Amino acid sequence: MYDFDRPRTARPDAAGTGVVAGSARLAPCDRHPRAPREGDVRIPAGCAIAAIMDRSGARHDGSDILRSIALMHDRSNGLGGGFAAYGIYPEYEELYAFHIMYESDEARRETEAYLDTYFMSEKQERIPTEPVASIKNPPDIWRYFAAPHPMRLAASGLDEAEYTMAHVFHINGKIDGAFVASSGKNMGAFKGVGYPEDIGAFYRICDYDAWAWTAHGRFPTNTPGWWGGAHPFTLLNWSVVHNGEISSYDANRRYVEQFGYDCELQTDTEVITYLFDLLSRRHGLSPELAAHIMTAPAWDEIDAMDAADAAFETALRTTYASALVNGPFSVILGSSEGLLAINDRLKLRALMAAEKGSMVYMASEQAAIELVCPDAENMRAIGGGEPFVVQLDSVVAAKAAADADAENDPHNAPLAHEVGVLPRRKEA
């Protein structure tokens, strides 16, 4: 891990008070002892998920996704809901759009001072919200359109994404009362404690236009009541909504922590996001192959393959054995390329998909699709361990045109900001 004051993964109760360090970011409350929040303990949760995407890249407001997730009201219990939207900030598409939740003014001041040091902010504003009766005590929610500070980025020796990720980890782990809800470009997450339809109204998602929307309604098994713990979980351009409880959690967590990811929230969604980030962004594998690794074919199937395929699959399964995700789950991954849905190998969670023209719909329940698109076509259940990929037409075209050979080549090229450094590298 890059040493930006590595966040602690454990928060020992140093004072022996029974209150875990880090709790200052919770607004003061009279209950004592307070219930453990996300990150203090591991909280299993059931969920509803939904997604809508226009492959043509045309943007639609959030009204359909809101109705779709609202239909599945009974699959959540009012303790978490949220949305991720892609393409909502075209005027700032080159800048990182940080959505940050604050539980105190001190947290905001500290975070902004930190951001001022490491980023150059072009615009910062409070995210507009609408009062909703059922939404209690929302945090102060801001957004920042920012670029990495060029000199500090160059000095860090990291690429832009790694640099940004490290600072997001710092804010989440080290600044009490601040939580980065999303940190991608031209995308954002809108989430909080409440039913998803109320959260959507609170954030006025019907006033944003996006080419892809994902939504999440949460049924956690206890009551952390913390906005940062709601989903979608995001990192850089990734967003993940997830239904299920992965039994491989600790194996996956301890695997990704080797590579500097801090699983602060102890949630499945977080570790799945980090697995995608590791395999896809860092190791250069396609999101489909990353999903394939996470739901690898059984050895029996591999043994039945021809030798070349079996060798390929064996190498993947062997090298990435600890990236195998186990237990019931359905996941929708959002990225700048589009959406990817994946179910566990045994198909223990529902996830339906359908399409109409350039539109693609996914939801935990078929009714949630038919509600917003009554004449949807190709309605089907997404199979266990079979990545379902939806990409923007422009991405598909660009990939088809790219004649480059398809080897993954993670981070072997010199970083862009290193090229201008003196002395120049001599050509070999």
Q: Which of residues 101-120 bind other proteins (CB under 8 A)?
A: none
**Residue 406 found at the interface with other proteins (CB under 8 A):** yes
**Residue 409 found at the interface with other proteins (CB under 8 A):** yes
Choosing from 13, 250, 393, 418, the residue that interacts with other proteins (CB under 8 A) is 250
With 0-12 / 13-18 / 19 or more C-beta atoms within 10 angstroms meaning exposed / middle / buried, residue 28 is: exposed
Question: Do the beta carbons of residue 212 and residue 334 sit within 8 Å?
Answer: yes
**Cβ 309 to other proteins, closest distance in Å?**
6
**Residue 327 found at the interface with other proteins (CB under 8 A):** yes
Choosing from 187, 325, 354, 390, the residue that interacts with other proteins (CB under 8 A) is 325
Containing 144, the helix (H) or strand (E) segment is strand 140-148
Quote the CA–CA distance of 297 and 320 in Å, as a whole number.
12
Compute the C-alpha angle 334/336/342, nearest 5°. 30
Quote the CA–CA distance of 353 and 27 in Å, as a whole number.
40
**Residue 300 found at the interface with other proteins (CB under 8 A):** yes
Quote the CA–CA distance of 48 and 239 in Å, as a whole number.
15
Question: Do the beta carbons of residue 22 and residue 11 sit within 8 Å?
Answer: yes
Cβ proximity to other proteins: between 357 and 410 the closer is 410
Cβ proximity to other proteins: between 214 and 243 the closer is 243
Residue 324 C-alpha from the chain's centroid = 18
**Cβ 211 to other proteins, closest distance in Å?**
25
Closest CA to 37 of 53, 25, 51: 25
Cβ proximity to other proteins: between 331 and 373 the closer is 331
206 is known as an active-site residue? no
**Cβ 384 to other proteins, closest distance in Å?**
11
Structure tokens at 343: 């179910």
**Cβ 35 to other proteins, closest distance in Å?**
15
**Residue 282 found at the interface with other proteins (CB under 8 A):** yes
Choosing from 248, 273, 280, 364, the residue that interacts with other proteins (CB under 8 A) is 248
Quote the CA–CA distance of 53 and 396 in Å, as a whole number.
15
Choosing from 58, 315, 398, 421, the residue that interacts with other proteins (CB under 8 A) is 315
Cβ proximity to other proteins: between 220 and 228 the closer is 220
Identity at 41, one-letter amino acid code: V
**Residue 45 found at the interface with other proteins (CB under 8 A):** yes
Containing 60, the helix (H) or strand (E) segment is strand 60-61
Q: Which of 29, 47, 206, 263 is catalytic?
A: 47
**Residue 384 found at the interface with other proteins (CB under 8 A):** no
Structure tokens at 279: 């395999």
**Residue 298 found at the interface with other proteins (CB under 8 A):** yes
**Cβ 44 to other proteins, closest distance in Å?**
4
**Residue 421 found at the interface with other proteins (CB under 8 A):** no
Per CB under 8 A, the segment of 109-117, 120-128, 315-323, 366-374 that binds other proteins is 315-323
Quote the CA–CA distance of 374 and 211 in Å, as a whole number.
20
Choosing from 91, 405, 420, 425, the residue that interacts with other proteins (CB under 8 A) is 405
Cβ proximity to other proteins: between 156 and 248 the closer is 248
Cβ proximity to other proteins: between 87 and 244 the closer is 244
**Residue 77 found at the interface with other proteins (CB under 8 A):** no
Identity at 374, one-letter amino acid code: P
Per CB under 8 A, the segment of 67-75, 184-192, 195-203, 249-257 that binds other proteins is 249-257
- Mask: binding to other proteins, 201-230, rule CB under 8 A, as x and -? --------------------x---------
Q: Which of residues 341-370 bind other proteins (CB under 8 A)?
A: 345-346, 348
Quote the CA–CA distance of 412 and 76 in Å, as a whole number.
44
Question: Do the beta carbons of residue 36 and residue 224 sit within 8 Å?
Answer: yes
* Buried b / exposed e along 385-421 (16+ C-beta atoms within 10 A): bebbbbbbeebeeeeeeeeeeeeeeeeeeebebeeee
Choosing from 9, 286, 358, 366, the residue that interacts with other proteins (CB under 8 A) is 286
With 0-12 / 13-18 / 19 or more C-beta atoms within 10 angstroms meaning exposed / middle / buried, residue 27 is: exposed
The verdict on whether omega for the bond into residue 423 sits within 30 degrees of 0, i.e. cis, is yes
Choosing from 270, 283, 355, 417, the residue that interacts with other proteins (CB under 8 A) is 283
Quote the CA–CA distance of 345 and 287 in Å, as a whole number.
17
Closest CA to 241 of 211, 274, 214: 214
Question: Which residue numbers are catalytic?
Answer: 47
Q: Which residues bind other proteins (CB under 8 A)?
A: 42, 44-46, 221, 244-245, 247-252, 254-255, 257-259, 282-283, 285-286, 289, 296, 298-300, 308-309, 311-312, 314-322, 324-328, 345-346, 348, 405-410
